Structure 1
Amino acid sequence: MSDSAPTNQGTHAHGLKYDLPHLFGRRRAISSLAALTLVSAAGRGMAADGSCVAIPAETAGPFPADGSNRAAGQTVNVLQESGVMRDDLRTSFAGMSPVAEGVEVQLILHLVEAGTACTPLAGRAIYVWHCDAAGRYSLYEDRDRNYLRGLGVSDANGIVRLTTVFPGCYRGRWPHIHFEVFDRPADAVAGSAGRLTSQLALPAAACNDVYARDPRYHNSVANLRGQSLARDGIFRDNTPDEIEQQTLSLSGSPATGFEARAVIGLG
């Protein structure tokens, strides 16, 4: 991993019809053993008896770009744009060109049915979005770009892998990543209601390390000061166990990039 920006959008920038067969074909190579290992390695999202726990629902916030609100008088819906289904969220697409800079993050999400079996949920669509290193959201605060938004589809083991950047911190919120889960990719692009909308928090140690070391996050140093997960306007309503479940498990460093994992249990 590195923090260099991508130069192209790869094979997942051609729309839903092109993306689906290629996406499923490549990802079937991951074994069931690897999927179970991911649940155990992430740890969070599991009860003491080893069962998977449903992750709490949260608000989509003011910048979802999923057709549910407007910006500058126009409905914003990136899910209807060709190329929204992709593995790399750092580039803009559908005629927009800006690229998000920042510390690279390999985001690995494991979708499972809540309960004792932790059954992997294959073929689910998950829409992920978050702010950039400067703490700004594309399509709202910067309307000439749509980066750091994309739709992934879980493989046979319920796993979704996306490349993105470490989000910045803006005033009033703890650093976080939004997501919305749909039962099918077609539901996401058709504007159907999602099965779950929630948020994932970034660990404090990683936030402090990234913001202190990387000048692209210079605004985040002051914005993070005085913030905490326990006082965050969204996460503070949850129990300590729920907050732990919603906090990404990270490995890596600001110099080499991070791998971020979470188990998303659906009730």
Structure 2
Amino acid sequence: MERKEFLRGLGLVGLGSLVIPIIKACNSDDAISSTETTTSTGSTNNSGSCTVTSTETAGPFPTKIPSSLVTTNIVSDRTGVGFTINVTIKNTNASCAALAGAIVDIWHCDKGGYYSEYGGTGMQSADFTAVHFLRGRQTTNANGIVSFKSIFPGWYSGRATHIHVHVYNASGTSLLVTQIAFPEGSGSAVVLVNASTANGYSKGMTGYTYNASDNVFSDGVANELSTITGSVAEGFVLEHTINVAG
């Protein structure tokens, strides 16, 4: 069994109920101004490479009925730092030209590290089985782009900050399941947002799992790392390109 497949098999443990106050971690990240502007540049697969983006697990919390969640605004009742997610889909079977008409599902956790549609189990104690926040489906435009309005994801034990993506062709045939990684380090959006207690991000970076130790990204994020710009005050914008064999 390959190391990556073994690591993916490890259980991901939720962090408790969202309605129970989380003890705020104390660390130096909390001293960073919530209005500081940052540009976090990731190494995405835009630089002439025309290979299919890495396949990853859909995780333990995939969207149950994605066709019922066709929307650009996936915030629902969640609160947090504003976040725009722009994903471009390209076709490796056409020299990485933009793939129009592709169906793109995304999902990610809220600021507390919890997923909708699941809960009440050892995997995630907070029960959100009856709601559908931070999940959405869109179809790529002529430029191969989909955009979603969301909030900046939090994190949970064993995982770096990430977004799940499932891409289908126009007929609904699955093309790729992958994940989007976030740039890390001093001044990154991940650090700035998790220091923003005013926006409800109460855990800071104590106990955070970085990409290098993440059970999905530890073998490298060369074609999964996004670019993120913006600030806590104005919100952040993620740009990422995913290549599929369309």
What is the percentage of aligned positions where both structures have the same residue? 31
**1:137 matched residue in structure 2:** 115
**1:44 matched residue in structure 2:** 44
Q: If the length of structure 2 is used for normalisation, what is the TM-score? A: 0.73
- Say what the alpha-carbon RMSD is for the aligned residues: 2.0
Q: How many pairs were matched up?
A: 193
8 Å CA contact 2:183–2:227 kept in 1: the answer is yes
Q: Which amino acid aligns with 1:88?
A: N
**1:165 matched residue in structure 2:** 151
**Structure 2 counterpart of 1:199, from 179, 182, 189:** 179
Alpha-carbon distance between aligned partners in 2 of 1:122 and 1:166, rounded to the nearest angstrom: 27
Q: Which has the higher contact order (CA 8 A, sep 6+)?
A: 2
**SS of residue paired to 1:237:** coil
8 Å CA contact 2:117–2:131 kept in 1: the answer is yes
Cα 1:42/1:136, change in 2 over 3 Å: closer
Cα 1:43/1:233, change in 2 over 3 Å: closer
8 Å CA contact 1:51–1:114 kept in 2: the answer is no
**2:210 matched residue in structure 1:** 228
**1:211 matched residue in structure 2:** 194
Matched, 1:117 2:101: no
**Structure 1, residues 84-125: CA drift from partner, whole Å, max 9, x if none?**
11111101xxxxxxx111111111111001278321100000
Alpha-carbon distance between aligned partners in 1 of 2:219 and 2:131, rounded to the nearest angstrom: 33
Can you give the 5+ residue segments of structure 1 that lack an aligned partner in the other structure?
Answer: 1-40, 66-76, 92-98, 188-192
Alpha-carbon distance between aligned partners in 1 of 2:131 and 2:216, rounded to the nearest angstrom: 26
Alpha-carbon distance between aligned partners in 2 of 1:221 and 1:42, rounded to the nearest angstrom: 20
**Mapping of residues 58-69 of structure 1, within 5 Å:** 58-65=56-63
**Aligned-pair CA distance for 1:157:** 1.0
**Aligned-pair CA distance for 1:234:** 0.3
**SS of residue paired to 2:190:** helix
More helix by percentage: 1
Q: Which amino acid aligns with 2:190?
A: C
**Structure 1 counterpart of 2:227, from 241, 249, 254:** 249
Alpha-carbon distance between aligned partners in 1 of 2:67 and 2:139, rounded to the nearest angstrom: 16
